[in-house]
Amino acid sequence: MGNSNYKRRGRRKFIKKSTFIAGSLLMAHGVNAVPGCSVPRKKEVLGVALVGLGYYSTDLLAPALQQTKHCKLTGIVTGSPSKIPVWQQKYGIPDKNVYNYQNMDAVADNPDIDVLYIVLPTSMHSEYTIRAANAGKHAWCEKPMAMTAAECTAMIKACQDNKVKLSIGYRMQHEPNTQTLITWSKTKPYGNIAEVTARAGYYDGRHDHWKQQKAMGGGAMYDMGVYPLNAARYSTGEEPIAVTARHETNRPEIYHEVDETTYFSLEFPSGATANCVTSLGMGMNELRVECEKGWYELSPFQSYSGIRGKASDGTLLNKTVPNQQARQMDNDALAIINDQPVLVPGEEGRRDIRVVEAIYRSAAQQKRVEL
């Protein structure tokens, strides 16, 4: 009996010691799973491929990816062969991580790329987000999310079906001063919100850009309009119940297919209203929230840097971040790494597009449209 107990204790000691040694060897070789098991090491840095190498990718996203901690630029998708050697030389992208729009689906077999960031004209967002999802890659899609709410729904479904995350590039919702306003929409430190004024626009003198083409998703409302629209929604914390809108064109030789300037007003369930303007014919960049007991504002509220503002009691809104795009992409990468909800999911992008469609209906019918 005593000898049997001794043998059992000996076996347990041997198994415990062997397990410890095996675990130590695996850890020493950078492995965190027993051979034969299918539990992969959790990535700490995600590989990102930019889909579309226009201005925003070239001048903002690619440089920002050099500042991120949780993601890095590992691939590109482009329809311009002349751009490829420039990007490869600048960012060290290997041939196997370079794709065009025809062979992009082959990214499914590339472990270097975890995320496809869709930076294409709005009319292409739905197709390429769905292709990214079907390739098993997480999708980051620039705003506006798509041309229609139906397209947005298809994008959301594709990502859900393929068990990948979808995030929409609303960088302002990652910006700290904007996040303060989002918090105030819930806590109401200045009383109930009565009226929001949101204006975003710039003067675009180009004559042959896709933003002047209806089929590509051009026009002020699609290009810049989601800034004041989204701001009105996150400033009130409500969804609009009605919209009234009108278009204005001062350069019909350029803006004959799409809107140059759009004015729209929103009505919310609480009785709050929002007066908004967006334009490709004049510069403006301000967000102001009038409340029962005061007001607060951000001006500028949607620039790539320098977001700042104040409140009626002297409170300053002047937090800074080194790079907005880097902060946005790191936040989205961490949501993937930790399997947590993204800050701005597809459902948020769809809410805006639903209103955008109503704005165009209102302007066309010249009447108030209920949502």
User: In this structure, are 136 and 70 located in the same domain?
Assistant: yes
The domain spanning residue 193 has which CATH number? 3.30.360.10
Residues 6+ apart with CB under 8 A from 249: 255, 256, 259, 260, 261
User: In this structure, are 364 and 255 located in the same domain?
Assistant: yes
Weakest mean pLDDT among 16-20, 145-149, 334-338: 16-20
Handedness of CA 152, 156, 159, 161 (dihedral sign): negative
Residue 333 lies in a domain: no
| Residue 44 to residues 5, 166, 337, Cα–Cα distance (Å) | 46, 19, 7
User: In this structure, are 351 and 228 located in the same domain?
Assistant: yes
Q: What is the DSSP-derived secondary structure letter of residue 249?
A: -
- pLDDT given at position 84: 98
The yes-or-no verdict on residue 41 having pLDDT over 80 is no
The yes-or-no verdict on residue 221 having pLDDT over 60 is yes
User: In this structure, are 305 and 190 located in the same domain?
Assistant: yes
- pLDDT given at position 7: 40
CA distance 120 to 141: 9
What is the percent of the chain with per-residue pLDDT over 70, rounded to a whole number? 89
The yes-or-no verdict on residue 50 having pLDDT over 50 is yes
The yes-or-no verdict on residue 291 having pLDDT over 60 is yes
CA 245 from centre of chain: 26
- pLDDT given at position 119: 98
Report field, pTM of the whole predicted structure over 0.75: yes
Element (H, E) at 149: helix 149-161
The yes-or-no verdict on residue 33 having pLDDT over 90 is no
User: In this structure, are 208 and 121 located in the same domain?
Assistant: no
Mean pLDDT of 220-237: 97
229-239 pLDDT, tens digit each: 999 999 999 99
201-210 pLDDT, tens digit each: 999 999 889 9
User: In this structure, are 7 and 50 located in the same domain?
Assistant: no
Instruction: Give the domain-ending residue among 136, 171, 206.
Output: 171
- pLDDT given at position 40: 57
Residue 279 lies in a domain: yes
What is the average pLDDT score of the chain? Answer: 91
- pLDDT given at position 331: 98
The domain spanning residue 50 has which CATH number? 3.40.50.720
User: In this structure, are 227 and 361 located in the same domain?
Assistant: yes
What is the percent of the chain with per-residue pLDDT over 90, rounded to a whole number? 88
Residues 6+ apart with CB under 8 A from 127: none
Residue 336 lies in a domain: no
User: In this structure, are 58 and 90 located in the same domain?
Assistant: yes
pLDDT band at residue 42 under the 50/70/90 scheme: confident
User: In this structure, are 361 and 229 located in the same domain?
Assistant: yes
Residue 334 lies in a domain: no
CA distance 71 to 69: 6
- pLDDT given at position 2: 45
Residue 325 lies in a domain: no
CA distance 156 to 350: 9
Residue 267 lies in a domain: yes
Q: Is 213 exposed, middle or buried (0-12, 13-18, 19+ CB in 10 A)?
A: middle
Mean pLDDT of 37-45: 70
Residue 156 lies in a domain: yes
CA distance 50 to 140: 9
Backbone angles phi, psi at 49, to 5 degrees: -110, 130
Mean pLDDT of 78-84: 98
- pLDDT given at position 37: 44
The yes-or-no verdict on residue 363 having pLDDT over 80 is yes
Angle between helices 226-236 and 346-365 (to 10 degrees): 110
Distance, first Cα to last Cα, the chain? 81
Mean pLDDT of 57-68: 98
Backbone angles phi, psi at 345, to 5 degrees: -80, 175
The yes-or-no verdict on residue 169 having pLDDT over 50 is yes
Instruction: Give the domain-ending residue among 153, 171, 189.
Output: 171
User: In this structure, are 196 and 303 located in the same domain?
Assistant: yes
Structural domains in the chain (count): 3
User: In this structure, are 316 and 245 located in the same domain?
Assistant: yes
152 forms beta bridges with: none
- pLDDT given at position 13: 43
Domain that holds residue 253: 176-320+346-370
- pLDDT given at position 39: 52
Instruction: Give the domain-ending residue among 107, 140, 171.
Output: 171
Residue 330 lies in a domain: no
The yes-or-no verdict on residue 54 having pLDDT over 60 is yes
Please check whether residue 117 is in contact with residue 140, taking contact to mean a CB–CB distance below 8 angstroms. Answer: yes
Please check whether residue 284 is in contact with residue 200, taking contact to mean a CB–CB distance below 8 angstroms. Answer: yes
CA distance 190 to 245: 29
User: In this structure, are 37 and 50 located in the same domain?
Assistant: no
239-254 pLDDT, tens digit each: 999 999 999 999 999 9
The yes-or-no verdict on residue 269 having pLDDT over 90 is yes
- pLDDT given at position 200: 98
Handedness of CA 52, 280, 201, 349 (dihedral sign): negative
Mean pLDDT of 104-117: 98
- pLDDT given at position 325: 98
The yes-or-no verdict on residue 19 having pLDDT over 80 is no
